[in-house]
Amino acid sequence: MAAQGVEAPVKRPQIDILNDALNSGTFVQVRRMLNSLPAAEVADLLESSPPHKRQILWQLIDLEHEGEVLQEINTDIGGEFLREMDAEELIAVTEGLETDDLVDILQQLPEEVLNEVLQSMDSQDRQRLELILPYDEDTAGGLMNTDTITVRPSHTMELVLRYLRRHEEIPPFTDTLIVVNRKDEFLGLLPIRHVLVSDPSMTVREIMQTDCQAIPASMADSEVASLFERDDLISAPVVDDQTNKLLGRITIDDVVDVIIEDADHSLMSMAGLGEDEDTFSRVYRAAPRRAIWLGINLLTAFIAAAAINVFEETIEQIVALAILMPVVASMGGVAGSQTLTIMVRAMALGQISRSNIHWLLNRELAVAALNAILWAAVVAVVAVAWFDDTRIGTVIAMAMVINLLTAAMAGVLLPLLLKSMKIDPALAGSVVLTTITDVVGFVSFLGLATYFYL
Amino acid sequence: MAAQGVEAPVKRPQIDILNDALNSGTFVQVRRMLNSLPAAEVADLLESSPPHKRQILWQLIDLEHEGEVLQEINTDIGGEFLREMDAEELIAVTEGLETDDLVDILQQLPEEVLNEVLQSMDSQDRQRLELILPYDEDTAGGLMNTDTITVRPSHTMELVLRYLRRHEEIPPFTDTLIVVNRKDEFLGLLPIRHVLVSDPSMTVREIMQTDCQAIPASMADSEVASLFERDDLISAPVVDDQTNKLLGRITIDDVVDVIIEDADHSLMSMAGLGEDEDTFSRVYRAAPRRAIWLGINLLTAFIAAAAINVFEETIEQIVALAILMPVVASMGGVAGSQTLTIMVRAMALGQISRSNIHWLLNRELAVAALNAILWAAVVAVVAVAWFDDTRIGTVIAMAMVINLLTAAMAGVLLPLLLKSMKIDPALAGSVVLTTITDVVGFVSFLGLATYFYL
């Protein structure tokens, strides 16, 4: 029955076709399919396959196709394939890759294999690579390619067009030519669409845009993504932080990957998972990280248990409290995680600052107060009807109000506090928040009961 | 103290500068700032401001600037501004907007205002608009612009270049010209970067790419996004589903917005929030939706309470059970939501199908079993040491194992079941899952205790 609901989006039942072919042993068909699909789709198929099938599929992909697939696939999975290759295979596979993808692959190799691969390249390619290799994957330098086309300010449009025609191919995502001086320092940009409509005798200097800045190589990748979004860029030049010399350019395809990763980060972190988590990772890879997360949560669960323990005697006398106490804790947890989720996303978007945080805290408190009054009343009525005891209604309603207001306050302030301590709010926030709402929920409910009953 | 941690990314303390200026009443400075910043940044500033400040800021933006800001801003917020304008203002503001953004705006207007605005346009613009207006915002038709540049197969490169030069400006994101026949039916694409390097005497027919398909106007926007990602597109032609006639084109800037919205969907839905939630919405807007979510969760909390109620007598005799039972429930909830998050993301990526779901279920069960054994042992030791009772250790360990295995199974199967029932797994999954892990946690723990003790 479950399988009925699993129908993948119509566009891609390929994974099922592929599997049927694999299972029936018609490898010829599988091989033909894998080598005719676009690399991005093959990468999707590999990512959607359990590890043992991945290995089989990988063997069936032609060597000259493997490089393209490697640049599209999840780094962890690609790394596994790479570790099994010798230098010779690596050299064959990495031939013709874009520099940034090549660097991503090379950075995963052990030193000696890396050197062997570097030795195999011609000196120009090697020099380019050695320029990029030092930059971290998460910076503009790590995102850039070296396939820039540069022009000088004194060139005329006619010369520029002739110069372009001399290229066998203009690299994809080339919407602008980069204007540099003799020292290769960045001066401005010349959009090709302006070249096309300009008088052939005009010079680059007359047409180029100078109100755009080049991206320093050390800029964080998510900041690069913001720039691309803000200015609707297709490509942007990258320069050395100190010298302003042109190093390369970043293209939108790689920026989209950054955007997706950043967006996945909050979702996955809030469940204690990595944003690049491989859906089909093996047990021994998936288990340890989750064990740690469960361990941390166990600790917080015991803290909550210890809070209940304080009121052992009260519970002994009124068992209804044990029955109702999870209600108070759970409502606080749910309300708190709503506020936390809003904060985590707003912080990721850079929306939160000292000038609006007080307004937001007040709004959350007001929303919590309204909902607390509404649902506390409902809970009170149900509790009184259930246990035929008016006091328990009063107690649970008061505890609910306390816990929902606490949840709102913690949901706003906790992520700020965590961030100021350089802890990722998306990762740590939900654990700490649930501990707070559990403890406050149990203590307020059982504490008030102790006060009213004993 | 909190404010220290709130420092927005270095690139944008603008919101604070802006606020200081607003608070000190130097509106001239605010006006200058707002009208000199790129529209996307002004939109960010408005989105990062509480509603009352938004109104003030909006008044300070020049009319000719407002249109650009409207196309960048969250639809809800933009809609509020629009509702306060009369037809005349609307006509002024919408002048010069791209068709797709104009349509988004027009779709939010009441019929009569819409007609007034339409009447004010020249007939060509109006015809174009009326072509697009029927398409839903979430389809290719709703994403497209009509600023296409088309060529015929028989044209030479020389003619194409001359034709381009006749344009005053080539629209942004024009990386390809669209090849159509006399009936305006789509034939293929002519990348500008190929035009630039080709012999001037060659014809469009010789150079154009025909292995690319145009996007039918009814295609869902997230499918469009997948296509752009897979094929690294900058722009793509949109055709009528039936006639194959060219309607317009979609550009990457609008696709990136779709990608971000889709990615936010899972995160926000899992907390019962909308993906386009306005961070600074007013209380009366934020409260109702959250009230519903809390109400649903309250219902499930009472279901769990009812499960506990069954074992009232057992708890009466052994209070330690009341203290420890939240531990079992909470561990199940945490483990389950990890599995659920992995499933929700994998399903959003289209990775799940009948051919890999069994492997995934087994993997999750194996991970759960390993972690269950590990943490059940720890919990048992702690429980025995705490309450000086070996039986309680056995009972809680067994209950933990049962609940973690249940959590893994529910985490995998529940989203599939929900999807087959056309219910969004990201939205409903966490509520139902927590109910399951709470009930199973309480029942297995208290049930086993009843069996062992009484």
Task: Write out pLDDT tens, residues B8-49.
Answer: 444 446 788 888 888 888 888 889 888 988 888 899 999 999
Q: Which residue of A has its CA nearest to B321?
A: A322
Same domain, yes or no: A154 and A120: no
Q: Report B:349-388 residues touching A (Cβ under 8 A).
A: 349-357, 359-360, 363, 366-367, 370-371, 374-375, 378-379, 382
Interface of B with A in 402-431 (CB under 8 A): 413, 416-421
Evaluate whether residue A243 is within a structural domain.
yes
Confirm whether A277 is domain-assigned.
no
Residues B160 and B131 reside in one and the same domain: no
Per-residue pLDDT band for B428 (boundaries 50, 70, 90) equals: very high
CATH number at residue A105: 1.25.60.10
What integer best gives the mean pLDDT of chain A?
Answer: 89
Q: Residue A29: is its pLDDT beyond 80?
A: yes
In a domain, B205, yes or no: yes
Output the CA–CA distances (angstroms, integers) from residue A302 to A296, A299, A307, in the order listed: 10, 5, 8
Domain boundary among A85, A118, A143: A143
Quickly state the pLDDT bin for A9 (edges 50, 70, 90).
Answer: very low
CA torsion sign, B385 to B386 to B389 to B392?
negative
- Domain end among B103, B118, B139: B139
Res B124: pLDDT: 76
> How far does A112 lie from chain B, in Å, by closest CA?
34
**ipTM of the assembly?**
0.89
Chain B, 54 to 113: residues with Cβ < 8 Å from chain A are none
In a domain, B121, yes or no: yes
| Per-residue pLDDT tens digits for A41-81 | 899 999 999 998 999 999 899 888 888 898 888 888 888 88
Measure CA A109 to chain center.
24
Q: How confident is the model at residue B6 (pLDDT cuts 50, 70, 90)?
A: very low
Contact B273 A338 (CB under 8 A): yes
With CA atoms as reference, report the closest residue to A270 among B425, B267, B269: B267
Residues B229 and B208 in one domain: yes
Q: Does B107 score more than 90 pLDDT? A: no
* pLDDT of residue B99 exceeding 80: no
Over A176-218, what HEC string results? Answer: EEEEECCCCEEEEEEEHHHHHHCCCCCEHHHHCECCCCCEECC
Instruction: For residue B298, give the nearest of A315, A355, A379 by CB distance.
Output: A379
Position A92 scores a pLDDT of: 82
pLDDT tens digits along B429-451: 999 999 999 999 999 999 999 99
Q: Hey, of A219, A293, A356, which one would you mutate to test binding to chain B, going by the most B CBs within 10 A of its CB? A: A356
Mean pLDDT of chain B: 89
- B282 vs chain A: nearest CA distance in angstroms? 7
Q: Report pLDDT digits (tens) over A120-149.
A: 877 877 887 787 788 888 899 989 988 899
Distance from CA of A269 to the nearest CA of B (A): 10
Q: Is residue A281 part of a domain?
A: no
Q: What is the CATH number of the domain that holds A261?
A: 3.10.580.10
Q: Contact, B404 vs B372, CB < 8 A?
A: yes
Q: Which domain holds residue B203?
A: 150-269
Q: How confident is the model at residue B7 (pLDDT cuts 50, 70, 90)?
A: very low
Q: Is residue B439 located within the same domain as residue B311? A: yes
Running DSSP on this structure, what letter comes out for residue A247? E
CA distances from B383 to A306, B377, B388 (A): 11, 10, 8
- pLDDT, one tens digit per residue, over A160-195 is 999 998 888 888 899 999 999 999 999 999 999 899
A432: closest CA of chain B, how far (Å): 13
A chain contacts of residue B354, beta-carbon cutoff 8 Å: 3, 6-7, 16
Measured between CB atoms, does B27 come within 8 Å of chain A? no
* Contact between A269 and A424 (Cβ < 8 Å): yes
Alpha-carbon distance values, B115 to A311, A417, A422, B125 (Å): 68, 51, 54, 14
A346 touches chain B (CB under 8 A): yes
Q: Residues of B with CB below 8 A from A5's CB?
A: 416-421
Final residue of a structural domain among B139, B159, B174: B139
Kindly state whether residue A335 falls inside one of the protein's structural domains: yes
Residue B256 touches partner A, C-beta closer than 8 Å: yes
Q: Which residue of A has its CA nearest to B412?
A: A2
Interfacial B residues in 45-64 facing A (CB < 8 Å): 47-50
Bridge-based pairing of strands A176-180 and A150-151 is parallel
Lowest mean pLDDT among A167-171, B87-91, B144-148, B248-252: B87-91
Q: Are A311 and A447 a contacting pair, CB within 8 Å?
A: yes
Q: Within this chain, do residues A129 and A213 fall inside the same structural domain, yes or no? A: no
Residues of chain B above pLDDT 70, percent: 97
Q: Which residues of B touch A164 (CB under 8 A)?
A: 196-197
Compute the nearest-CA separation of B369 from chain A (Å).
10
Q: Which of A90-94, A437-441, B275-279 has the highest mean pLDDT?
A: A437-441
Residue A276 domain flag: no
Distance CA A253, CA B233 (A): 8
- For position B392, which CATH number holds? 1.10.357.20
Q: CB-based contact (8 Å) between B282 and chain A?
A: yes
What are the tens digits of pLDDT across the range A222-236?
999 989 988 889 999
DSSP letter string, A120-188: HS-HHHHHHHHHHTTS-TTBHHHH-BS---EE-TT-BHHHHHHHHHHSS-PPTT--EEEEE-TT-BEEE
- If asked whether residues B302 and B446 sit together in one domain, one would say yes
Q: Could you tell me the two tokens for A328?
A: 């108070």
Q: What single-letter DSSP state applies at residue B220?
A: B
- Please state the φ and ψ torsions of residue B216, each to the nearest 5 degrees: -70, 145
- H helices of B218-319, where? 221-231, 252-270, 283-309, 312-317
Q: What is the pLDDT of residue B13?
A: 64
- In this prediction, residue A319 carries a pLDDT of 92
Count of CB pairs separated by less than 8 Å, A with B? 419
A2 contacts B413? CB cut-off 8 A: yes
* Residues B242 and B129 occupy one common structural domain: no
Average pLDDT rounded to a whole number, residues B104-126: 80
Whether A358 and A426 have beta carbons less than 8 Å apart is answered as no
- Summarize the confidence of residues A208-228 as an average pLDDT: 92
10 Å CB burial of residue B356 (0-12, 13-18, 19+) is buried
Work out how many domains chain B is built from and give that number.
3
Give the pLDDT mean for A351-363.
93
Residues A22 and A160 in one domain: no
Amino acid (1-letter code) at residue B446: L
One domain, residues B115 and B179 = no
Q: What is the 3-state secondary structure (H, E, C) of B121-170?
A: CCHHHHHHHHHHCCCCCCEHHHHCECCCCEECCCCEHHHHHHHHHHCCCC
Global confidence as pTM: 0.89
- Best probe of the A interface among B266, B367, B405, B427, by most A CBs < 10 A, is B367
Identify the residue whose tokens are 């030791």: B381
Q: Do A271 and B345 touch (CB under 8 A)?
A: no
Residue A363 in any domain: the answer is yes
User: For residues A22 and B298, which has the higher predicted lDDT (pLDDT)?
Assistant: B298
Residue in B170, B338, B359 nearest the CB of A197? B170
A318, containing H or E segment: none
CA distance A204 to chain B (A): 17
Question: Which residues in chain B are closer than 8 Å to A324, comparing Cβ atoms?
Answer: 305
B36: Cβ contacts below 8 Å, ≥ 6 apart: none
- Residue A116, classed as helix, strand or coil, is helix
Nearest C-alpha neighbor of A136 from the set A21, A198, A57, A224: A224
pLDDT of residue B1: 34
Min Cα separation B210/chain A (Å): 16
Q: What is the predicted pLDDT for the residue at B102?
A: 80
Q: Are B291 and B398 part of one and the same domain?
A: yes
Are residues B334 and B233 part of one domain? no
pLDDT for position A4: 36
Are A427 and A296 found together in one domain? Answer: yes
**Contact between A305 and B323 using a beta-carbon 8 Å cutoff:** yes
